[in-house]
Chains A and B, each alone.
Chain A
Amino acid sequence: DGGITQSPKYLFRKEGQNVTLSCEQNLNHDAMYWYRQDPGQGLRLIYYSQIVNDFQKGDIAEGYSVSREKKESFPLTVTSAQKNPTAFYLCASTPTQGIYGYTFGSGTRLTVV
């Protein structure tokens, strides 16, 4: 079955630590996205990538970093510079940028302890 796999489902981080969230897709999609979801805030775009080795900042990129070394993979690192990292993180992909047909993963819930 084609889809997006996010891992882990739950992640706990101590203050001051960096953590990396995994996102893998087998849909052969070119574009991938990271969103952050907070209660009552909807989904806000963190970073997106249209092709391998290229990515752009979204609306709330501060304190986050990404890489796109492979078409299938788009990991997100939440750095210690992110002041309020506790949230639900969602990865998505589309065949190409700006094209409808967004497929979402099941998310990773990050909690700072």
Chain B
Amino acid sequence: QQQVKQSPQSLIVQKGGISIINCAYENTAFDYFPWYQQFPGKGPALLIAIRPDVSEKKEGRFTISFNKSAKQFSLHIMDSQPGDSATYFCAALDSVSGLTFGKGTHLIIQP
């Protein structure tokens, strides 16, 4: 049973465009929703995170939108740059089972 579903699996965006990655979850016990960025050969690094009592969080060019009733959340990367090319993982945390990851999105920003 996949508790966190992430889409798309891969995404190509032109430089300066908006990259959008979507995730959906099933477990209502999740109470923290982070996004991780991973470059080849490296471990994931926390990019931005949101709690379910907030509908949107913005940090620089990165924004999380959260829809609690639909059990969905998304990452928007504004003014996408070639340096943003990486694999992005959404995740969801509950205090019992820990962190559950989506399957990842391979993002390529074309110059």
Chain A positions within 8 Å of B, measured between CB atoms, are 4, 6, 9, 33, 40-45, 48, 90, 92, 97-102, 104-107, 109
User: Which residue of chain A is the closest to B4 with respect to CB atoms?
Assistant: A42
Chain B positions within 8 Å of A, measured between CB atoms, are 6, 9, 32, 34, 41-46, 49, 89, 93-96, 98-99, 101-104
User: Which residue of chain B is the closest to A38 with respect to CB atoms?
Assistant: B103
Complex Cα spacing A48 to B93, Å: 15
Q: Which of A33, A90, A104 contacts B98 (CB 8 A)?
A: A33
Verify B95–A98 contact, CB threshold 8 A: yes
Given A98-B93, A100-B32, CB of A106 within 8 Å of CB of B43: yes
Q: Which of B9, B34, B93 contacts A40 (CB 8 A)?
A: B9
Q: Which of A41, A97, A99, A107 contacts B41 (CB 8 A)?
A: A107
Complex Cα spacing A44 to B44, Å: 13
Q: Which of B44, B46, B94, B102 contacts A90 (CB 8 A)?
A: B44
Given contacts A90-B43, A98-B98, A99-B95, 12 further A-B contacts (CB under 8 A): A6-B43, A9-B41, A42-B102, A42-B104, A45-B98, A97-B98, A98-B96, A100-B34, A102-B34, A106-B41, A106-B42, A109-B41
